[in-house]
Amino acid sequence: MKFGPVPLAEAEGGLLVHAVRHDGIVLKKGTPIGAREIAALLLAGITTVTVARPEPGDVAEDSAAAALAAAVAGDGIRIDPAFTGRANLFAETAGVLVVDRQGVDRLNAVDPDLTFATLPAFAPVSVGAMLATAKIIPFAVKGTSLDAAVAIAKTHAPLVRVAPYTVKTAAVISTILPGFSEKVIDKTLRVTAERLAPAGATIVAERRVPHEAGAVAAAISAVLAEGVDLVVVFGASAIADRRDVIPSAVEAIGGRIEHFGMPVDPGNLLLVADVQGRPVLGAPGCARSPKENGFDWVLSRLLCGLPVTGRDIAGMGVGGLLMEIVTRPQPRSEPVEAKAGRKIAAVVLAAGRSTRMGGPNKLLAEIGGRPMVRIAVETALRSKAAPVVVVTGHQEREVRAALAGLPVAFAHNPDFAEGLSTSVKAGIAAVPADVDGAIVSLGDMPQIDPGLIDRLLAAFDPEKGALIVIPTVAGKRGNPVVWARRFFADLAGLTGDVGARNLVAAYQEAVAEVPVDGAAVFTDVDTPDALEAVRAGAGGPAESR
């Protein structure tokens, strides 16, 4: 193809390389130059233009793009008409995109004037999603280059296709150990159902069994006998070895372990197996979270009936680091001393409007002769947390007065009416830069005592993966919660009136639970009845506690 500036008198028959906008004249890039265009350009005072002229054997960009797209596309793909040298490919069915990486690389090496780009291989796609694009760089390409590219595409045919979802029924088996919360299993089922939904698959069988090989083996056999297409096993304890409970159960019923472990994080402790010709997945702990992890990469392929071999999994390492690595911690049952030099601030939220109280500001209500907010703040001050930041909002002046004389820093939240998240953001923003984390407590929880806060601070251990510390009673989580500094940006991004619950769910692998006694971690005073109940009890923590 010839290319370059020419006098306007010699431009006829060429393609305009650069758009022209001048004195009401608009000629787009690629416009064929004829007598009318030349006349318009002369009126605009333009005497030289840059043009491109196809040579014998060249193929125009749109024709070439259309031919290239047709050559690479396989099943489940629709091609839009080429325009400006580009032909886009779209999914006609939901599934995963299967790409012949070697073939695409060979095609793109033929001539830099010919390009073909796709989504990542095995990307889940919905109907209508754009999958790939064939783009011709100049206005025309050599016919010999196009022929070579098409020949490569036919050799590897198809270069791209959509494998449709075929798995429609799944079973979930959960193992249980003493103290393991049933609510964790309930949440896991919800998250798994959401993962299966785009494929049109549903959970049709569910079992909860002891964490023993025999019990798991019997459960897998039972659900397979019911005809399910896929089995997912969630262990109360993560798989640690090919001889552990879940893989032992698979082999006990004649199954085959395809692979254990994967170079994707989170998702390392994944087991892929086959029993009676159907896939069985031993899920890593991170699969309980909706956040993307290695489990998703394997599940999406299996839902389309595609095999997942050990070699496939071994090839997932490049791009397999999906987030900063955190280590799943073990629950702390006994208090330990916090490491020397670790600094944790306290953020006390005291900005709410007390709408459920029917009028009065609950934070100013007295319990045992002290305003409730003062009880919460004095509790934080008597703990090892420092400094203490109090977030104000509604009736700021009155709340400050109730805390008169206390050595605290204040952070005002002018957006308190928009929900709890705004107060969390205001408090975290006011925490000094030299702290390692913050414990976020509520001003309407007067039964929390300094000893409880210190137990939570002692359990905070980033080196062992304990980055979020939560008190629990019989497996149920309460407040306050300790957050490592690495989550401050996430806390600053919260919206609405739901606090940080969704963040906890997203970072399960970073959570350390501290079992405690009593209902203090659940007792927040929201209503007049709740206030009277607290007053009728012991009130807030005594000064001597």
Q: What is the DSSP string of 283-318?
A: E-GGGGSSS--HHHHHHHHHHTT----HHHHHTT-T
Judgement on whether residues 27 and 71 belong to the same structural domain of the protein: no
Answer whether residue 219 is part of any domain.
yes
- Residue 532 belongs to a domain with what CATH number? 3.90.550.10
Judgement on whether residues 99 and 186 belong to the same structural domain of the protein: no
Judgement on whether residues 245 and 112 belong to the same structural domain of the protein: no
Q: 443 with 349: CB under 8 angstroms?
A: yes
Answer whether residue 545 is part of any domain.
no
Judgement on whether residues 114 and 174 belong to the same structural domain of the protein: no
Judgement on whether residues 472 and 388 belong to the same structural domain of the protein: yes
Judgement on whether residues 302 and 384 belong to the same structural domain of the protein: no
CA distances from 379 to 120, 388, 446 (A): 53, 10, 9
Q: 327 with 509: CB under 8 angstroms?
A: yes
State which of 53, 74, 95 marks the end of a domain: 53
Judgement on whether residues 235 and 356 belong to the same structural domain of the protein: no
Answer whether residue 334 is part of any domain.
no
Length of the chain: 545
Answer whether residue 365 is part of any domain.
yes
Judgement on whether residues 63 and 27 belong to the same structural domain of the protein: no
Answer whether residue 543 is part of any domain.
no
Residue span of the structural domain in which 75 resides: 58-164
- What is the model's pTM? 0.64
Taking Cα atoms as reference points, which of 395, 370, 491, 476 lies closest to residue 439?
Answer: 491
Residue 99 CA from chain centroid, whole number: 24
Judgement on whether residues 385 and 528 belong to the same structural domain of the protein: yes
User: Digits of tens for pLDDT over the chain (545 positions)?
Assistant: 787 888 888 888 888 888 877 766 778 887 888 888 888 888 777 888 888 788 888 998 899 999 999 999 999 999 999 988 999 999 999 999 999 999 999 999 999 999 999 999 999 999 999 999 999 998 889 999 999 999 999 999 899 999 999 999 999 999 999 878 888 899 999 999 999 999 999 999 999 999 999 999 999 999 999 999 999 999 999 899 999 999 999 999 999 999 999 999 989 999 999 999 999 999 999 899 888 899 999 999 999 999 999 999 999 999 999 865 544 433 333 344 445 568 999 999 999 887 777 778 899 999 989 999 999 999 999 999 999 999 999 999 999 999 999 999 999 999 999 988 999 999 999 999 999 999 999 999 999 999 999 999 999 998 777 899 999 998 889 999 999 998 998 899 888 776 687 788 778 778 899 999 888 899 888 888 888 888 887 545 544 33
Judgement on whether residues 260 and 189 belong to the same structural domain of the protein: yes
Find the DSSP H helices in 440-527: 450-459, 488-492, 501-506
Residue 349 CA from chain centroid, whole number: 28
Beta strands in 75-229 (DSSP E): 77-79, 86-91, 95-99, 114-118, 124-125, 130-136, 140-142, 160-164, 169-176, 202-210
Judgement on whether residues 188 and 234 belong to the same structural domain of the protein: yes
- The C-alpha atoms of residue 545 and residue 449 are separated, in whole angstroms, by 7
What amino acid occupies position 118?
Answer: T
CA distances from 520 to 88, 152, 447, 449, 539 (A): 60, 69, 5, 8, 11
Judgement on whether residues 256 and 295 belong to the same structural domain of the protein: yes
Answer whether residue 330 is part of any domain.
no
- The C-alpha atoms of residue 40 and residue 36 are separated, in whole angstroms, by 6
Look at the chain and report how many structural domains it folds into: 4
Answer whether residue 176 is part of any domain.
yes
